[in-house]
C-alpha cells in the first residue's frame, strides 16, 4: 500500500479522495495548497502526490516543477476542473504521470494510482542503482587491501578536498591511474561538473594545441568552424591529461601558461579565454629523467608535480591479487551467490604470475577465465593460458641432482599431488601439466598407490 499526499484547495475533493483511498488500504495526508504540500514533503516520504492545478500560494504547475527537482522525485497525478489540451501537455512536460479531469471516476483514479506506484518503484530503484554505481566509481577497481594502496587512497582523498591543486599520478601502465583520477574528481567540490580525459600520446603533434585549447574557424586547413578545446569543455570540472610525458615541447610551453594564468587562446584566435579547471596529469615515464634529457620542460614538471601520487605495480602488492581477482569475477558474473570463486590451484597461479600489465591484465585474465568456466569456481585449467604465456617455472634441463640424492618415487608422488592441486583434481589438466596423456597419468597414479 502507498503513502499518498492529496493537494487541493477544495476540502470536499480532499475528503472524497481520502475516504476512497483509505478504503483501499492506502495511508493518506492532505494539504490545501502547494506550499502546505511542500512542508509535508520535507517532513515525511510520499509514494504518490495527487494534486489540483489551480491553487493559491503555490499552484500545481509550480509544485510539479519543485517535486521534479527533488533527489527522489515523487510521481504526481494531476486532477483539475479546468481541463484543456494545453494544460494537459504542460503538466505532462513538467513531469506529471497522469492527467484526470474533474469530476473523476473512482476506477480511473485507482488505475492511475496503480500506474504511479510502478513509476515510484522505478524511480527509487534507479536512485539506488545510481548510488551503487557512484560508490563503485568512487573506488573504481582499487580494492584497498594492501597498506600501499590504502596510503594512495588516503592521499587521494586529502587532495580531492582541494578544489584547484594540480596532481601528478605516476605508475606503470595498467595500474589504474585514470581510475584514481576519477576517484579524486568524484570526491572533490567539482564532482557535479565534467571529468574530461585526454590521452596525450594519442594526439598527433599537429592537433595537440587544437585539442587542448580549441581553434577558430579558418585557423588551419580543415578548420571549417570554431571549436572548443578540452580546457574550455572541462571548465568547472577536472581535466585529466594522461601520458603527459608524450606532450610535444611546444605544447608544453602553452600548457604551462594555461596552468599558471588559468586562461587560454584558441589556435588562430586573439581573444583570451578564462578557464576554471583542475588538472590531473599521469604518466608511466620518469619525468625527471626526461627533464635531464631535455625532452620535458623543467618548469612544467615543477608546475604539475604539486601533489605527486605514485601507484605501486601489482607485483609489489601481492596481497591484493586474490581480493582483486574475486572482485573482477563477481563483476563479470554479476552475482554474489557463489561462495568459492577460485580453487587453491587457481590462486597459486594468480599469485605466481608477474602481472606486467598490472590490474588491466588481471581484469582481462579473469574475464577470459569466467567465459571459459561458465560459473565459478575458476580452476587452474581455466587459467592455463597464463602458464603457456609465461612458460614453466624452470626447465627440466636446469634441474641439478643434489649430492645427497633424492627419492624418485616420493618426488613423482609430490609432483602428481601438486598437479592435481593446481588443477582442482582435474586429472586431464594435471596430466597435461606433467606432459602425459590422461591414461598414462592414471596408470602411473595407480602404480604409485600400489607401491605404498
Q: What region does 149 belong to: left with phi over 0, alpha with psi -120 to 50, or beta?
A: alpha
Quote the CA–CA distance of 34 and 320 in Å, as a whole number: 54
Per-residue pLDDT of the chain (452 residues; tens, 9 = 90+): 789 999 998 999 999 999 999 998 899 999 999 899 998 988 888 889 999 988 888 888 888 888 887 766 788 999 888 878 888 888 888 788 888 888 888 888 888 888 888 777 776 665 655 554 444 444 444 556 678 888 999 999 999 999 999 999 999 988 999 999 999 999 999 999 999 999 998 888 888 999 999 999 988 888 888 999 999 999 999 999 999 999 999 999 999 999 999 999 999 999 999 999 999 999 999 999 999 999 999 999 999 999 999 999 999 988 889 989 998 998 898 777 787 899 988 999 999 999 988 998 999 999 999 999 998 999 989 998 886 544 444 444 445 666 667 778 888 888 888 877 776 677 777 777 788 877 788 888 888 787 76
Indicate if 211 and 297 belong to the same structural domain: yes
Among the listed residues 258, 208, 165, the one whose alpha carbon sits nearest the alpha carbon of residue 157: 165
Q: Residue 350: which CATH number?
A: 1.10.8.60
In a domain, 138, yes or no: no
Q: Are residues 84 and 217 in the same domain?
A: no
Residue-range definition of the domain harbouring residue 238: 147-312
What's the total number of domains in the chain? 4
| CB atoms near residue 325 (< 10 Å) | 24
Cα→Cα distances 256→247, 249, 262, 288, Å: 12, 11, 10, 17
Same domain (yes/no): 376, 442: no
Nearest to 73 by CA among 58, 55, 95: 95
Instruction: Specify whether 129 is located in the same domain as 218.
Output: no
What CATH number is associated with residue 16? 3.40.50.2300
Domain-embedded: residue 333? yes
Residue 21 falls inside a structural domain = yes
What is the spatial distance between Cα 230 and Cα 241, in angstroms, rounded to a whole number? 10
Same domain, yes or no: 99 and 72: yes
CATH number at residue 205: 3.40.50.300
Q: Are residues 308 and 383 in the same domain?
A: no
Return the pLDDT at 427. Answer: 77
Q: What pLDDT shows up at residue 71? A: 62
Instruction: Let me know whether 353 and 435 are in one domain.
Output: no
pLDDT at 396: 42
Q: 263, 297, 312 — which closes off a domain?
A: 312
Say what the alpha-carbon torsion angle 142, 145, 149, 150 is, to the nearest 10 degrees.
110
Cell triple for residue 236?
568547472
Q: What is the pTM of this model?
A: 0.58
pLDDT of residue 309: 97
- Claim to verify: residue 88 and residue 207 sit in the same structural domain: no
CATH number at residue 434: 1.10.10
> How high is the pLDDT of residue 255?
95
Show which of 284, 312, 340 is a domain's final residue.
312
In a domain, 160, yes or no: yes
Residues 111 and 169 occupy one common structural domain:
no
Is residue 78 within 8 A of residue 53, CB to CB? The reply is yes
Identify whether residues 106 and 159 lie together within a single domain. Answer: no
60 located within any domain: yes
Tally Cβ neighbours within 10 Å of residue 387: 17
Q: Are residues 165 and 293 in the same domain?
A: yes
Closest CA to 52 of 29, 93, 82: 82
In the listed set 348, 370, 390, which residue is the last one of a domain according to the structure?
A: 390
**Residue 145 has what pLDDT?**
67
200 found inside a domain: yes
Residue 191: predicted pLDDT: 93
Residues 248 and 351 in one domain: no
Amino acid at each position: 500500500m502507498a503513502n499518498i499526499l492529496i493537494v487541493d484547495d477544495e476540502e470536499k475533493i480532499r475528503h472524497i479522495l481520502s475516504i476512497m483511498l483509505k478504503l483501499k488500504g492506502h495511508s493518506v495526508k492532505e494539504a490545501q495548497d502547494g506550499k502546505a504540500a511542500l512542508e509535508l514533503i520535507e517532513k515525511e516520504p510520499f509514494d504518490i502526490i495527487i494534486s489540483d492545478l489551480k491553487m493559491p500560494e503555490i499552484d500545481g504547475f509550480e509544485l510539479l516543477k519543485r517535486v521534479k527537482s527533488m533527489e527522489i522525485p515523487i510521481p504526481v497525478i494531476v486532477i483539475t476542473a479546468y481541463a484543456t489540451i494545453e494544460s494537459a501537455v504542460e503538466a505532462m512536460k513538467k513531469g506529471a504521470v497522469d492527467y484526470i479531469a474533474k469530476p473523476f471516476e473512482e476506477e480511473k483514479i485507482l488505475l492511475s494510482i496503480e500506474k504511479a506506484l510502478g513509476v515510484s518503484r522505478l524511480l527509487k530503484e534507479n536512485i539506488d542503482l545510481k548510488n551503487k554505481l557512484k560508490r563503485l566509481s568512487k573506488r573504481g577497481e582499487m580494492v584497498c587491501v594492501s597498506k600501499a594502496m590504502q596510503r594512495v587512497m588516503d592521499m587521494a582523498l586529502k587532495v580531492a578536498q582541494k578544489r584547484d591543486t594540480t596532481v601528478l599520478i605516476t605508475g606503470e601502465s595498467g595500474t589504474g591511474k585514470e581510475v584514481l583520477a576519477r576517484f579524486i574528481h568524484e570526491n572533490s567540490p567539482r564532482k557535479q561538473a565534467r571529468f574530461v580525459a585526454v590521452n596525450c600520446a594519442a594526439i598527433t603533434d599537429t592537433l595537440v594545441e587544437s585539442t587542448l585549447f580549441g581553434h577558430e574557424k579558418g585557423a588551419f586547413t580543415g578548420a571549417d568552424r570554431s571549436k572548443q578545446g578540452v580546457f574550455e569543455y572541462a571548465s568547472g570540472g577536472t581535466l585529466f591529461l594522461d601520458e603527459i610525458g608524450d606532450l610535444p615541447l611546444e605544447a608544453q610551453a602553452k600548457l604551462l601558461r594555461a596552468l599558471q594564468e588559468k586562461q587560454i587562446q584558441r589556435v588562430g584566435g586573439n581573444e583570451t579565454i578564462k578557464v576554471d579547471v583542475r588538472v590531473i596529469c599521469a604518466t608511466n615515464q620518469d619525468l625527471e629523467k626526461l627533464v635531464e634529457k631535455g625532452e620535458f620542460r623543467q618548469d612544467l614538471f615543477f608546475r604539475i608535480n604539486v601533489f605527486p601520487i605514485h601507484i605501486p605495480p601489482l607485483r609489489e602488492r601481492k596481497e591484493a591479487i586474490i581480493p582483486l581477482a574475486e572482485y573482477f569475477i563477481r563483476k563479470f558474473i554479476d552475482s554474489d551467490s557463489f561462495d568459492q570463486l577460485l580453487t587453491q590451484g587457481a590462486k597459486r597461479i594468480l599469485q605466481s604470475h608477474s602481472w606486467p600489465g598490472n590490474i588491466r591484465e588481471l581484469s582481462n585474465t579473469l574475464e577470459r577465465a569466467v567465459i571459459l568456466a561458465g560459473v565459478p569456481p575458476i580452476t587452474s585449467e581455466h587459467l592455463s593460458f597464463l602458464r603457456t604465456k609465461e612458460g614453466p617455472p624452470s626447465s627440466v634441463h636446469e634441474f641439478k641432482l643434489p649430492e645427497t640424492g633424492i627419492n624418485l618415487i616420493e618426488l613423482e608422488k609430490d609432483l602428481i599431488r601438486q598437479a592435481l592441486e593446481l588443477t582442482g583434481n582435474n586429472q586431464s589438466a594435471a596430466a597435461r601439466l606433467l606432459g602425459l596423456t590422461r591414461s598414462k597419468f592414471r596408470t602411473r597414479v595407480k602404480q604409485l598407490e600400489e607401491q605404498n
